[in-house]
Amino acid sequence: MNELSKDSVTFLEVGEDGAGQRIDNFLLKRLKGVPKSHVYRILRSGEVRVNKGRATADRRLALGDRVRVPPVRVAEKTDDTPAPPREFTVVFEDAALIVIDKPAGVAVHGGSGVSFGVIEQLRQARPQAKFLELAHRLDRETSGLLIIGKKRSALTRLHDQFREGAIDKRYLALVKGAWRDPLRHVKLPLLKYLTPEGERRVRVSPEGKASHSIMRLQGRWATPWGEFSLLEVELATGRTHQIRVHLAHLGFPIVGDDKYGDFALNRDLQKAGLKRMFLHAASMRLPHPLGEESLDLAAVLPAELERFLKKLEKSDETL
């Protein structure tokens, strides 16, 4: 594979790791340091070509395809230190995929001010692995189940399953306030935007993408810090920050959320022992991407979150 150039056209040959991938994702992975908006601009303009023909952003690449990339200016790397190898708690693993229990505070991949994440560390810990790719994402401060494909065929099928809604994903979220409904369907469209500082955010907007969360009440407490509710949230769609924004918009922000939460309450709860966002990817049910069996996966609530729930129970002032 040729090195990318800021002065001349570069040709990239699609290998095993790129076969079956959309061309926009293929380029975003290889054009580190190039703004995402610029990658999509060169795709729209026709400057990127596959086997001499124009390609739209959703074009899927095949093994051996030749991709023409126009001159691009790539930000120079400031740190070439490899990610430290790290294994994570494995919930399930076979020849097709790995499911880990991701701890809070660890990004799933490098970028946006983070040098490395789960996928880079796992690749360093498993140098013999020919293929390791994220099947989906979790926010940095969210803990719980994360799927990683070990084969391109498994990854492609997992992407299809996520898109088709064939994967039952459930989270546990502790929110500020007294949630009343045992079951509630929340359908609010979500729109991504950038803050003046360039940070990615999401808000409810009629111009956004359709988004559907299903909330089930698990518990409720009245304490000296205020009222709190524990919800199980099922994702019918998987938009960026979906659970966090839906709940904040409804007036029930997730405790510990540093983007959409109640910041004054978060500071009080830090003193009480909660030093992270209370959002955990607790369970997942899906057909095996390359087999006949159904996978029923679970990640127990992390100890720090379990301890905080016990503290709420002891402080509960409900009569």
Q: Quick one: pLDDT at residue 235? A: 95
Inter-CA distances, 94 with 181, 185, 242, 288, 290, Å: 40, 35, 30, 10, 11
- The pLDDT of residue 319 is above 80: no
Here the contacts of 283-287 (C-beta below 8 Å, separation 24 or greater) are: 283/145, 283/168, 283/169, 283/170, 284/99, 284/145, 284/147, 284/167, 284/168, 284/169, 284/170, 285/167, 285/168, 286/161, 286/166, 286/167, 286/168, 287/161, 287/166
Q: Judge whether residue 296 has pLDDT over 50.
A: yes
Query: Per-residue pLDDT tens for 84-138?
Result: 999 999 999 999 999 999 999 999 988 766 788 999 999 999 999 989 999 999 9
| DSSP 8-state class, residue 18 | T
The answer, yes or no, to whether residue 3 has pLDDT greater than 80, is: no
102 versus 73: the higher-pLDDT residue is 102
Task: Round to whole Å and give the CA distance between 82 and 122.
Answer: 12
Q: Could you read off the pLDDT of 32-70 as tens digits, one per residue?
A: 778 888 888 888 888 899 998 888 888 899 888 999 998
Tens of pLDDT along 234-290? 999 999 999 999 999 999 999 999 999 999 999 999 999 999 999 999 999 999 999
Cα–Cα distance, 139 to 27 (Å, whole number): 23
Q: How far apart are CA 114 and CA 181, in angstroms?
A: 39
Enumerate the active-site residues: 139
**Cα first-last separation, the chain:** 69
pLDDT above 50 for 2? no
SS3 breakdown of the chain: % helix, strand, coil, rounded to 5?
A: 20, 30, 50
Confidence class of residue 1 from pLDDT cuts 50, 70 and 90? Answer: very low
Q: What is the pLDDT of residues 143-163, one digit of tens each?
A: 999 999 999 999 999 999 999
Which domains does the chain show, CATH number per domain? Answer: 10-69 (3.10.290.10), 90-156 (3.30.70.580), 166-315 (3.30.2350.10)
Nearest to 276, CA basis, from 107, 165, 140, 169: 140
For the chain, give the mean pLDDT. Answer: 90
* Mean pLDDT confidence for 190-203: 87
Any long-range contacts for 192-197 (C-beta under 8 Å, 24+ apart)? 192/240
What is the pLDDT at residue 112?
Answer: 60
Q: What pLDDT is attached to residue 316?
A: 84
Query: Are residues 71 and 6 in contact, defined by beta-carbon separation less than 8 angstroms?
Result: yes
Structure pTM?
0.77
Q: Which residue blocks in 112-239 are alpha helix, DSSP H?
A: 118-125, 152-164
DSSP state letters, 110-149: SBTTBS--HHHHHHHH-TT-S--EESS---TT-EEEEEEE
The reported pLDDT for the residue numbered 201 is 92
Half-sphere exposure of 196 (CA within 13 A, CB side): 0
